[in-house]
Structure 1
Amino acid sequence: MRVGEGQVNKMRVALVIGTSSGGVGNHVRSLCEGLAGRGHRVAVIGPPETEEHFGFTATGARFAAVDIGALPRPGADVVAAARLSGLLAGADVVHAHGIRAGAMCALAGAAPLVATVHNAPPELSGPRAWVFPTLERVVARRADIVLGVSSDLVDRMRARGARRVVRAVVTAPPMPAAGTARAQVRARLGVSGDRPLLLVVARLAPQKGLKVLLDAAPMIAAGVGAPAERATRVPATAARDAGAVPPLIAIAGDGPMREELSRRIDAEDLPVRPLGHRSDIPDLLAAADLFVLPSLWEGPSLVIMEALRAGLPVVATRVGGIPDLYEDVALLVPPGDAGALAEGVTRVLGDPGLAAKMRADAEEAAERLPTVEDTLRQVDGIYASLTGR
């Protein structure tokens, strides 16, 4: 069924998504729910596994499967573009999420077209290195409006030739309250007494900087906090040998680096515990003493929003959209620098006054974060400007 068939109330909005297992899909689902709540007719078009993972139809949207992969595949993409062209024919506005989805919609002749750029392009080598810069130019020149989730992406798409580009208002939907007592969660993780619990929530992928986190773990365990120019590997057993109990670093998430990270944690006896994919993130946030995000690139980092709403101090890298939103509330360190990361973490752990101030600042900052209503207000205004409705 085409997007527009049988639809007469308000706008007919098509949201197009490529391969996603995390933030982009959650954002699109939130848009589905909000736009449908405002009376729009919403259809989501994307790979079948996105509907299985995010449940777009549960929000009242319709779903049509089109295989939009992470990387270009000439034969499959021609078929996908032809299918998209038919599905989008009845839409009042098409909103693509991601460079691949945006380029496919452009090739399908979608108009008017809004494209949100959610991520920096992957680093490819050899003949494939030109692929994403080319796709970015296609999106920049064909989309009526381009949204970037961080200021660096806004600048990047403007440099690619976008006619109208603005920063996207993106937020983490409200999380449910913690359902398990803090002490009980900590006990399950083997954290007793006043042992610090550091929490990382991230997909186990290269972009998240988890190798750097493991480099920093021995220094954090020993309470070294060495600046970058003095960063050295400190045995993780040093603190235990001295009678101290090192902080536990818990990583909630799954992904392609799971086995590699687990092998290294075991081989080096690091005080790091991979938790795998978890559905109890509110409980983990409530149990933690500090939130850490060592990413090499991030957009607005919705998980930092969740950590601030939980009142946690945050140590994160100064990349992508993180300084746009969290400059005044998180302790930001350079990306890829294990010594600087360890120094930031141990600084917060070693200064109760600083930690208390950061917790208070987090709660105050949480009140200023964008809301789902802010996101809907932005996209609704953009759609209206393109359709005259």
Structure 2
Amino acid sequence: MTLHIALVLGASTGGIGVYVRDLAAGLVERGFRVSVAAPAETGERFGFTRVGAEFRPVPITGAVNPARGATIVRALRSAVDGADVVHAHGVRAGALAGMALARRDTPSVVTLHNAILASGVRSRLLTGLEKLAVLRADVVLGASADLVERARALGARDARYCPVPAPPLPPPTKDRAQVRAELGVGADAGDGGGERGGESGGERADERILVLAVGRLAPQKDYATLLRAAQLWQNDSHPTGSPTSAPRLVIAGGGPLREALQAQIDALRLDATLLGHRTDIADLLAAADLLAMSSTWEARSLAVQEAMRAGVPVVATAVGGTPELARDAAILVPPGDPHALAAAVTRLVQNPGERARLAAMGRERAGEWPDAEQCLTQLSELYSTLAAMPRKT
């Protein structure tokens, strides 16, 4: 019998949508029938039908709006009708799926992708939805170990770890030197001449260090702290036996905080650029000397995964699932501490050998992570087990 898996998610513009699309594609390839219930704009962005899934529009928006809840629940109940297993992604989708299945005997799974970082009334509302999602699901999956512990604390019947692997990046399309010149670093950007030793793949001694950050310009990423760190390393920069100047920072990503961050860059007179949304992350990583992540929380950072796979040294905040993800293959610093972040970046700037060591360790660590096929097998087996379990009559 062909199992019908209904995947449910809310409004998404990034990682969760990509993950669900790739999950849908993998399940279809393995012979499952897959339907996706999500907002119409999410369906258009990620093209679920192009990977062989059915798409059923349901307005699961980002706003917490109890007044519209009943309408959305009815639409979702209709959208998942006939599914053998319903798998919701995120707190809102999980809570709504729990309500939609309240009088049905369909097994359900919820994946928690993010911690609740809101405060005040919004935090209380989201926590209520989180508890509802966790208690109604047969199995709760956490994208990081702390999310699994959170689900257990809320009373989950069965909580398990299920990592979210970053999709493989395509090969770079441009030469490293070309991208570096476009970003204002390297010999072609007016830094003079001279040669460096071989640790960094033939870089010139006068090339400036390029620090890359990747992620949405949103509060969770705490780019304000990263910019304050950039001010510190810019002000404290001094010759260290070569004409290398202060590192240049570029941030790839769009989002609601762009205007505020640009104002901070201008006020501090930083050598930093907001690149906006980019689709050439492989090119940017090939050009970068290190990746910096300043987030207040991450489950399993896609940017960190991509950087370590590419052999780019990582400086990141020790939050959420990042310590387990990176272990000793990255420099980890406390969140919200620009001095610690600046000191870690400066340490790597001044030590090419340390950068090379971390690059090699990062590649080695990345080779130990579960890949997409292993994660797909884990979920496929879970769905089959749940669908085969005797249900109430």
Alpha-carbon deviation of 1:45? 0.6
Structure 2 counterpart of 1:113: 108
Amino acid across the alignment from 2:232: M
Structure 2 counterpart of 1:3: none
**1:263 match: secondary structure:** helix
Structure 1: distance between partners of 2:158 and 2:360: 38
Structure 2: distance between partners of 1:187 and 1:268: 24
Q: Is the CA contact 1:41–1:61 (under 8 Å) kept in the aligned structure 2? A: yes
Alpha-carbon deviation of 1:161? 0.4
In the superposition, relative to structure 1, how do residues 310 and 244 fare at CA in structure 2: closer, same or farther (>3 Å)?
closer
Larger displacement relative to structure 2 (76-85 or 98-107): 76-85
Structure 2: state its 5+ residue gaps. 188-206
Q: Which one of the candidate residues 130, 140, 154 is aligned to 1:136?
A: 130
Alpha-carbon deviation of 1:129? 3.5
Q: Which one of the candidate residues 41, 51, 55 is aligned to 1:63?
A: 55
Q: Which one of the candidate residues 40, 43, 46 is aligned to 2:38?
A: 46
Q: Is the CA contact 2:326–2:362 (under 8 Å) kept in the aligned structure 1? A: no
Amino acid across the alignment from 2:139: I
Q: % of aligned pairs identical?
A: 48
- Post-superposition Cα deviations, 1:73-109, rounded to whole Å, max 9, x if no partner, equal 1232211100111121200000000000000000101
Alpha-carbon deviation of 1:133? 1.6
Alpha-carbon deviation of 1:143? 0.1
Is 2:322 the counterpart of 1:327?
no
Structure 2: distance between partners of 1:195 and 1:129: 43
Q: Is the CA contact 1:71–1:100 (under 8 Å) kept in the aligned structure 2? A: no
TM-score normalized by the length of structure 1: 0.91
Q: Is the CA contact 1:223–1:346 (under 8 Å) kept in the aligned structure 2? A: no
Structure 2 counterpart of 1:167: 161
Structure 2 counterpart of 1:247: 247
- Post-superposition Cα deviations, 1:243-287, rounded to whole Å, max 9, x if no partner, equal 862211110000000011011112221011100000111000000
1:14-163 counterparts in 2 under 5 A?
A: 14-109=6-101, 111-125=106-120, 127-163=121-157
Amino acid across the alignment from 1:15: L
Amino acid across the alignment from 2:269: D
CA RMSD for the aligned pairs? Answer: 1.6
Structure 1: distance between partners of 2:97 and 2:353: 52
Q: Is the CA contact 1:197–1:287 (under 8 Å) kept in the aligned structure 2? A: yes
Structure 2: distance between partners of 1:107 and 1:189: 50
Q: Which one of the candidate residues 193, 205, 230 is aligned to 1:217?
A: 230
Is 2:360 the counterpart of 1:360?
yes
**1:64 match: secondary structure:** strand
Structure 1: state its 5+ residue gaps. 1-8, 225-237
Q: Is the CA contact 1:169–1:374 (under 8 Å) kept in the aligned structure 2? A: no
Q: How many residues align?
A: 365
Q: Is the CA contact 2:208–2:244 (under 8 Å) kept in the aligned structure 1? A: no
Give 4+ residue runs of structure 1 displaced > 3 Å after superposition: none
Structure 2: distance between partners of 1:326 and 1:165: 23
Larger displacement relative to structure 2 (200-209 or 322-331): 322-331
- Post-superposition Cα deviations, 1:226-249, rounded to whole Å, max 9, x if no partner, equal xxxxxxxxxxxx99xxx8622111
Structure 2 counterpart of 1:4: none
Structure 1: distance between partners of 2:40 and 2:34: 17
In the superposition, relative to structure 1, how do residues 261 and 324 fare at CA in structure 2: closer, same or farther (>3 Å)?
same
Q: Is the CA contact 2:231–2:268 (under 8 Å) kept in the aligned structure 1? A: no
Q: Is the CA contact 2:144–2:162 (under 8 Å) kept in the aligned structure 1? A: yes
**1:368 match: secondary structure:** coil
Q: Is the CA contact 2:145–2:161 (under 8 Å) kept in the aligned structure 1? A: yes
Amino acid across the alignment from 2:214: V
Q: Which has the higher contact order (CA 8 A, sep 6+)?
A: 1
TM-score normalized by the length of structure 2: 0.90
